[in-house]
Structure 1
C-alpha cells in the first residue's frame, strides 16, 4: 500500500474546540453608522434623480413640439437640482464644505465625481428654466437645456454609486442592481411630474416613461432583494420594509393609471403624484435599510463567513472532507 493510499484512509480529525459562532464583541455594531441625516439625504437622492430625468424629458419634449411638457420638465429639472444642492449643503452643515469639494477632481471618489456632476447640471438646468420663464436669450437657454440633458443620465444614477461604494452591507452588496433601481425610479418620477404638469394632449411620452421607469424599478428591486439573501431582509422589515412596500404599491397604481387614464386630467394628475411618491419612498426605504444593516453585526459577519467557507471549499483537494 502506498503512502498516498494510507493518507486517504486516515480519519479526518475533528477539532477539540468547536468553531466560534459569535456576532461581534458583546453584540456591538462592527461598522460605524452613516452620519448622513434623515430626511436630508433621502430627499437629496430623490430630487437629484427627478432633476436628471426631467432634463432629458424637457429636451425630448422640445424636439417633438410639446411646449407644455417641456416647460414642466425644465422647471422640474431646475427645481430638483436646486433642492438637491440645498439639502446637500444642509447635511454638510456649512456651505464651505460643499465648495471645498470643488477644489479638486478625484475620479476614484464617487463623491467628488458626483459633486462635479451636480454643480454644472444645476447651473445649466437653472439657466434653461430661467430662459423658459422669461423668454430671454432663447438660443442660450436651449443650449443650456441640451447641456443639462447630457448630464441627466449620470444625475439619475451617480447617487447609487455613492451608496454602494460604502461598506454598508445592504448598500454595497447591491452594487449591481442599485443603479437600475435609482435610474428606473428617477424615470418614474420624471414621468409622474409630466403627468401632473403637462396638458393631456402632450402627456403621452410622460405616461410611457413613468410606467417603464416603474417597471424597471420594481424588477431591479426584486432582483436586488433576492440576490442579497439574508441582507435582503433589510428591505422587507422594519421602517425600510414599510417604505418599500408602500412605494411598490404606489408605483404599480401610478403606472396603471398612467397607461389607462392619462387622457383624463384628474386620473393623470393622481397617477403622476403616485409615481412621484413611490419614487420618493423608494429612496427613504433604501436609506433606512442601509442604516439598519450598518447597526446589525450579523449583516457583516455572516456574509464574510459564507464567502470564507466557499473559498475554503474551492481550494480543498478533491475527495477531502
Structure 2
C-alpha cells in the first residue's frame, strides 16, 4: 500500500464520481474512457450533422431524446374521419340554414306588409326543408333511423335538440307555404309562418353546435365563431333567394340585409381561422381551401352587387345567386376542412400540447390558494 493510502470512495461527491483519500484531503480520480470533455468531437459525433447543441454557458451537450414525429400505429390517423358523406351532410348544413333563415324572413315580411316577399320566402323555406330532410334521411340510410332520434329529448345533445327543432319547423313551414299557394285557411297559414319564424334561428344555427361538439379539430377549434359563421351564411343565402325571386318593390329589406350578412359571413370566417392557429391550415389548403376561397369571392361579389343593385334588376338577381352559391360553398368548405383535419395527426397532437403548456404555465404563475389554478 502506498503512502497516499488511496481508497476509492464509491459515493463520491453525490455525483457518482470516484475520489482518492490522501494526506492533503480528497482528490478526484481520473476515469479513462468515461470523462466527456464539453465541446469535444466525441460528443459532437452523436449530434445531428456532427454539431452538438450548445447550452447557455457555451458548452456542448448530447441530445438524449430524438425530435418527436407525428406518427400513429400502422400509419393510421389518430381520429376516425367523419363517416358522413359530403353531398348529403354538407348539403344539409346549407339547406337547413337556408330554410331556417328563410322562415324567419318570411315571418318578418308577413308582419311588415310585404306579401310578395313573404310568398317567396315561405315557398323557398318549405322547399329547402323538404330537400334537407331528404338528404339527411339518405345519409342515415332509412327513415326509421331519423325517427329513432326522436325517442327521447336530450337538452345537452345538439343532435337531439336539432332533430326536434326540425320536426317542429317542417310542418309549420309546409302549412304556411301551402296556405300561401292555395289561399286556404289563411289565418292558420299566417300563424304557422310566425311559428316557423320563431324556430328558424335555431334551425339555422344548431348545426354549428352539432359539428363543433366533436373531436374533429377543424370543427371543434372554431366552436366560438362557428355559430356566427353559420348564422350569417344562412341569412345571406335566404336574402339571396329573396333578391333572386322577389319583386323589386319588395326586395329592398333583403337587399340591405343580404349585404350586411355577406360581409358578416366573410368577416366571421376569417376571424375563426385566425383564432384557430395551426388548424386553420385545413381551411386554406387542399380542396377545403379552394372551396373557402371561392366562397369568399362569390360572397364578396354578392355583397357588392347587393349594395349597388338598388336600381338594376339584373344586378340584384346576379348578386342573389352569388350570395346563395357563396353560402353553399362555405358549408362544403367547412365540411371538407373537418375531414382533412381528422386525417392528419398533427392537428390533434399539437393543439393538445399547446393547451397543456398553457395550463402548466398558468399553474406555475398562479399563487397557491388563489382559486384560479387550472386543474
Q: TM-score under structure 1 normalisation?
A: 0.92
**Alignment match, 1:195:** 243
Deviates more, 1:105-114 or 1:158-167: 105-114
Distance 1:305 1:202, change over 3 A: same
Q: Which has the larger radius of gyration?
A: 2
Deviation track 1:196-253 (CA, whole Å, cap 9, x = no partner) reads 0100111111111111111111111111000001100111110000000010111111
Deviation track 1:118-145 (CA, whole Å, cap 9, x = no partner) reads 1110110001000000000000000100
Query: Residue 19 of structure 1: CA displacement?
Result: 6.5
Residue in structure 1 matching 2:129, options 81, 85, 89 = 81
Q: Is the 8 A contact 1:203 1:262 kept in 2?
A: no
**Alignment match, 2:210:** 162
**Alignment match, 1:179:** 227
Task: Supply the distance in 2 between the matched residues of 1:31 and 1:167 (Cα, whole angstroms).
Answer: 8
Task: Supply the distance in 2 between the matched residues of 1:197 and 1:97 (Cα, whole angstroms).
Answer: 36
Task: Supply the distance in 2 between the matched residues of 1:303 and 1:123 (Cα, whole angstroms).
Answer: 43
Structure 1 gaps, min length 5: 1-10
In structure 1, the residue corresponding to 2:86 is in which secondary structure?
Answer: coil
Residue in structure 1 matching 2:110, options 62, 75, 80 = 62
**Alignment match, 2:182:** 134
In structure 2, the residue corresponding to 1:240 is in which secondary structure?
Answer: helix
Residue in structure 2 matching 1:300, options 348, 351, 367 = 348
Deviates more, 1:209-218 or 1:172-181: 209-218
Q: How does 1:107-118 map to 2 (within 5 A)?
A: 107-118=155-166
Distance 1:295 1:65, change over 3 A: same
Q: Once superposed, what is the RMSD of the aligned Cα atoms?
A: 1.6
Q: Is the 8 A contact 1:101 1:115 kept in 2?
A: yes
Query: Residue 20 of structure 1: CA displacement?
Result: 5.6
Deviation track 1:120-171 (CA, whole Å, cap 9, x = no partner) reads 1011000100000000000000010000000011111000000000100000
Q: Is the 8 A contact 1:40 1:87 kept in 2?
A: yes
Query: Residue 21 of structure 1: CA displacement?
Result: 1.0
In structure 1, the residue corresponding to 2:79 is in which secondary structure?
Answer: coil
Question: In proportion to residue count, which structure has more helix?
Answer: 1
Deviates more, 1:209-218 or 1:277-286: 209-218
**Alignment match, 1:278:** 326
**Alignment match, 2:81:** 33
Deviates more, 1:163-172 or 1:22-31: 22-31
Task: Supply the distance in 2 between the matched residues of 1:18 and 1:311 (Cα, whole angstroms).
Answer: 24
**Alignment match, 2:21:** none
